[in-house]
Amino acid sequence: LISLGGIAALAVRGIYNSMRKEMPVNLKYAILLGIWFVATVYASTKGIRFVLLAVPAFSIAFGVALGLIVRYASALTSQELKISRTLATVVIAALLLGLFFVPRTAQGANSSWYQTARWTATQEVPSMNDAWYNSLTAIKDNSQENAIINSWWDFGHWFKAIADRPVTFDGASQNTPQAHWIGRVLLTANETEAVGILRMLDCGGNNAFDTLNKKLDNTFLSVNLLYKIIVLDRESARAELLKYVDSETSDAVLGYTHCTPPEDFFITSEDMVGKAGVWGHFGMWNFTRAKMELEVHTLKFQEALTLLTKEYNLTTEQATSLYNEIKSLRTENDINQWIADWPGFVTSSGCRIQNTDLYCPSSIQGQQIPLRISLITGDANISAESAGGPTFYPASMSYLTNDGFETRSYGDRENVYPLSIVLVQEGSSFKVIWCHPELVDSMFTRMFYLNGIGLRYFKPFSKQTSVVGEDIIIWKVDWEGKEENALPQQEQLPQQDVGEEIHARHILVATKEEAQEIIALLNNGSDFAELAQEYSLDSAEGGDLGWFGRGVMVTAFEDAAFALEPGEISVPVETQFGW
């Protein structure tokens, strides 16, 4: 307001002096600052970051306003108090400057404008740093001029300015179809789909959809059809398209989805972890639900029921439930949440070896989560700290093996926690990343946390770490995808030729007496798996160790296990872990 007042004062004073035939103040400065403010406000409607362009105009106008306040206030003070103009000017200026040092309450803390400005100047870490500059310069120096950079939208203007290469997003706005497509690349667990989307974007942005939808006039069908064809070879894709459109339209669409693409560089960076809720929301946008909401929200119950049962092949019970859900949506936020969730990475925690488990205690929204991952079976569970409490399981878990990337689902278990975990090995230590289930095997998770192991189309190009420890990882797309990324030889987990394998269960207890009591129960007909679930210190479901060969278990356990006949139960065996 003070700045706008300064502009207005410049204009009014110039006009007033001109009318009095006095030497006018040049109106061009007021006009320039006014246009600057208006242009910045307009630009901010295209991207909120453009508000920063108003800072120079704001500073100039603010200074003008303060100067005019000092001038007129000192003149009035000098006249009324009968003091010199110079003294009045010094006093007024000192009072105004003093305002910058007066403590004020802001966001629950007392600080002056000076203290706030000083903190910002000394503590603010710029987003652009050497790691980003070196990463983008590496692309510029090692790519063709028509190479395209893909990533989430925020830093697209950096990519264009420093790498001097075209981008999918320019950093101005995420309100474009590319937000869905790139969000999907980051979120999908299907690498072929991810590469298909990138090829389509690199060959023509959203033109494939525009061309198809112009003919079909059906957003829902056009999007679903594109998802079908981008994972197919050109001939199969053409055959699919010809079921819906003519040959000319089919060939035009294929020109965008199955062209020979330019070089592509894909960036995954630390800042995208915190933005996962946003790109994940766009990426998991449910076009079926969006179509349902648009069609149903204005219909009466019977009309909606007929539509949902006939067009979407729902039962009456399912249609009724969906109708009630849609009618309960009151705001735009409610609708967005119903159509697509906002998946995110929640927290991470370190792990330590405890008996035969990795123990990874975590805190989520104030709740302590005692996560355990068996080093014997690889099974994960959240065991109650008190005996007899229920055992929960993460929704799913992803991790690396010597053979590549694996995901284990626990959706069939009785008690399932609503989050998933990513097990990350860093040298000889481990940590877990808690996340939304949609992210556990996403392309972003695999590229950023699991080094792209097991992927075929995304090849490591560069990795830089900023001064504050944030990673920037760049991948070059190999459009042919002939070879999977494997664990480097020095990171391979030790393996042995196991030869003969057996499948066994066990019950681990602390003392020999407890072991003998369990033997007695087994001899009386008790179920082994049920006793394991109730008494075993190990987290394996029902004591099941799966198949294993020699050299995997500790020696005493291995010798006893391999000496048994099928269905036979051993005598108590002592190891360093118990009985």
Residue 405 to residue 425: CA distance in whole angstroms:
13
Residue 495 pLDDT > 50: no
Q: What is the domain partition of the chain in residue ranges?
A: 2-123, 130-278, 286-339, 345-435, 501-562
Nearest to 431 by CA among 329, 347, 527: 347
130-278 sits in which CATH class?
alpha beta
User: Mean pLDDT for the chain?
Assistant: 86
What's residue 335's pLDDT? Answer: 95
What's residue 3's pLDDT? Answer: 53
What's residue 266's pLDDT? Answer: 98
What's residue 493's pLDDT? Answer: 46
What's residue 559's pLDDT? Answer: 84
Say if CB 300 and CB 308 are below 8 A apart: no
Across 166-172, average pLDDT:
82
Lowest mean pLDDT among 117-131, 287-301, 327-341: 117-131
Output the CA angle 115-116-120, nearest 5 degrees.
115
Of 37-41, 210-214, 524-528, highest mean pLDDT: 210-214
Give 471's strand partners: 465
What's residue 193's pLDDT? Answer: 98
Residue 219 pLDDT > 70: yes
Tokens 């192991």 correspond to 453
Residue 10 to residue 161: CA distance in whole angstroms:
37
Question: pTM of the prediction?
Answer: 0.75
Tokens 């497509």 correspond to 181
Nearest to 34 by CA among 19, 15, 54, 63: 54
Domain 501-562 has CATH 3.40.250.10: no
User: 130-278 and 501-562: same fold?
Assistant: no
In 3-state terms the chain splits into helix, strand, coil percentages (rounded to 5) of 50, 15, 35
Token digits for 345? 């990475």
| Total residue length of the chain | 579
Note the pLDDT tens digit of each residue in 351-376: 988 777 888 999 888 888 999 888 77
Which residue type sits at 44? S
Nearest to 424 by CA among 404, 451, 464, 444: 451
Token digits for 353? 């070896």
φ, ψ for residue 428 (rounded to 5)? -95, 0
Widest CA span in the chain = 115
Residue 322 to residue 337: CA distance in whole angstroms:
14
